Chain A
Amino acid sequence: MRAPDTTVKAAAPVIAFDKITLAFGAKTIISDLSLEIGRGEIVCVIGPSGCGKTTALRVAGGLIPPTKGTVRLLGEPMAGPRRDVAIVFQDYAKALLPWRTAAGNISLALEAAGVAQSERGDRIRDLLTKVGLAGHEDKYPTEMSGGMQQRIQIARCLAQDPAVLLMDEPFGALDAMTRQGLQDEMLAIVAETGATVFFVTHDLEEAVYLGDRVIGLLPHPGRIGIDQRIDLPRPRNQLETRETLEFLRLRRTLFDFIEKAEH
């Protein structure tokens, strides 16, 4: 299926952090962080809570400028949010417009991109089908389950035709079954679109299951403590992949890392 193309990666990282430092006032949150993510790569970011995962993701999304260093996106210095970089927030209930239906929420991204009204209907139906919500276009967010709401947010992000998906613990608030379903749907979508993914999670198994690479951050200040390749074959399978020795070994490695990082 999809394997990160190392030649392309060497040529042009999709996301490049070059010695990023970020401080809020006197408090340094991220210190001297360098990271390159290649085209189509799925990079999962783990670390103890408060270590700066969300902050790093917001820097990657252009929502906060770094105090020092540069972020490059597809070779260009990042000057602010871009429409080809889509952000999936954990709190889907707050990220959706409660006064718009599912279709209306997805439409917002199309409107922002200036897609003609006549084309939006078809695009919205395609996107809803892609996230498994065909026929739910007229529901309001509060009439949908958490899993469905998160799917709507993902569909809205896909409507941006993103080269990069930044996901901040997107499945963290969902129950185990829903979470596994969404993990597989996400992998299928990403395989199809070829998007590069920066995926923050506190679930180590999720990180191993999804990632081509897992970055572990150390706290105070946030910096890279481990950069672990995940060479599990794709497509991955919720039962078989999770039972392989390699999966268990990787999980153990990350577990030990977190244990140490928390002290």
Chain B
Amino acid sequence: MKRAWWKGLVVPAALIVLAELAMRVQGSTSMSLAAPSDIVAAFFAILFDGSLLLATRDTLVSAGIGLAAGGFIGLALGILFGLVKPLDRLMEVTIEAIRPIPSVAILPIAMLVFGFGYRMEIAIVAFSCLWPVMIMTRSAMAGIEPRLLEVSRALRLSTWDRVHKIVLPAALPRIMVAFRLAASIALVVAVTVEIAANPLGLGYGILVAQQALQPAVMLAYLVWIGIVGYLLNAALSLMQQRLFGRAGRVEAAS
């Protein structure tokens, strides 16, 4: 296990040093760029004055609730369509028509209905998360080993038992993948909505810094969003492993 883990850090570190040198030598007063050291300083400034944490909370709350709501609806619909084939065929065209609408395109409608604030952002995040979760849940259900369904028939399991003892556990690893994908979509959409319209959260933080001609603060937000996204994915990945344990890893591998 003595792999040289630091080798992967050589290139980023060199780039940072290079950027620092370039900015210093040039004595730049750019409105879009800043020296790494200035970005770090700006980061601590917004960290200690509380604005970064407040913005992070606002973004995560919107993204989280939107993900939960959209994910839940998507999951429920995906299961329903997976179980009731006639309904699936009935809804296919409708879904194919709505799904390609870019989520940000419903922003004007959402603003009309909800105004500015959490509710509007949550609605758009939920709309964006609904589709991938629904579609992947539906296909996860279609991909269940038919033999297992036959076993449940042979044992005469009730519909409820069949769903929660066979169908859901069998589909769960792939549903979990859908949720991880939806989580990254939720963050992207939340920040986009904040930059485009909503006066709260990390996206709004970037926008304000840009308009106040503070590139270091703007880039500090940018780096922080990257870190938040990374941590979110790592947390979900850890949760996935915890949830499925030995059997889950085996399932995912096969």
Residue numbers of A with Cβ under 8 A of B are 61, 63, 81-83, 85-87, 89, 91, 94-95, 97-100, 108-109, 111-112, 140, 142-143, 160
Judge whether B247 is part of the interface by a CB distance below 8 angstroms.
yes
A82: shortest Cβ distance to chain B, in Å?
7
Whole-angstrom distance between the Cβ of B110 and the nearest chain A Cβ:
39
Contact (A142, B250) CB under 8 Å given A81-B156, A112-B157: yes
Docked-complex contact A109 and B148, CB < 8 angstroms? no
Complex formed: what's the CA distance from A81 to B155 in Å? 8
**Chain A at the B interface: mostly helix, strand, loop or mixed?**
loop
Alpha-carbon separation in the docked complex, A250 to B150 (Å): 35
Is the pair A140, B153 in contact by a Cβ cutoff of 8 Å?
Answer: no
- B247 adjacent to A112 (CB under 8 Å): no
- On whether the beta carbons of B150 and A63 are closer than 8 Å, the reply is yes
**A91 contact set on B, CB distance < 8 A:** 147
| Cβ contact of B154, chosen from A63, A100, A142, cutoff 8 A | A63
Q: Assuming the A-B contacts A111-B165, A112-B161, A142-B250, are A97 and B148 also in contact, with contact meaning beta carbons closer than 8 angstroms in the complex?
A: yes
Q: How many A-B residue pairs have CB under 8 A?
A: 58
Cβ of B151 under 8 Å from chain A: yes
Chosen A-B contacts, 23 in total, with CB atoms closer than 8 Å, are A61-B154, A63-B150, A63-B153, A63-B154, A81-B154, A81-B156, A83-B155, A95-B147, A97-B148, A98-B247, A98-B250, A99-B170, A99-B172, A99-B248, A99-B251, A100-B247, A108-B155, A109-B155, A112-B156, A140-B246, A140-B250, A142-B247, A142-B250
B244 within 8 A of A: yes
Given A89-B147, A91-B147, answer yes or no on A98-B251 (Cβ-Cβ < 8 Å): yes
Could you tell me if B147 and A112 are in contact, using CB atoms closer than 8 angstroms? no
Q: Point out the residues of chain B lying under 8 angstroms from A160, CB to CB.
A: 155
Q: Which residue of A lies closest to B155 (CB)?
A: A112
A83-B156, A108-B155, A109-B155 are contacts. A95–B247 as well, Cβ < 8 Å? no
Distance between Cα atoms of A63 and B246 in the complex (Å): 33
Cβ B148 vs Cβ A142 within 8 A: no
Cβ of B254 within 8 Å of any chain A Cβ, yes or no, is: yes
CB distance from A202 to the nearest CB of B (A): 19
User: Which 3 residue pairs spanning A and B have beta carbons closest together?
Assistant: A112-B155, A94-B147, A99-B247
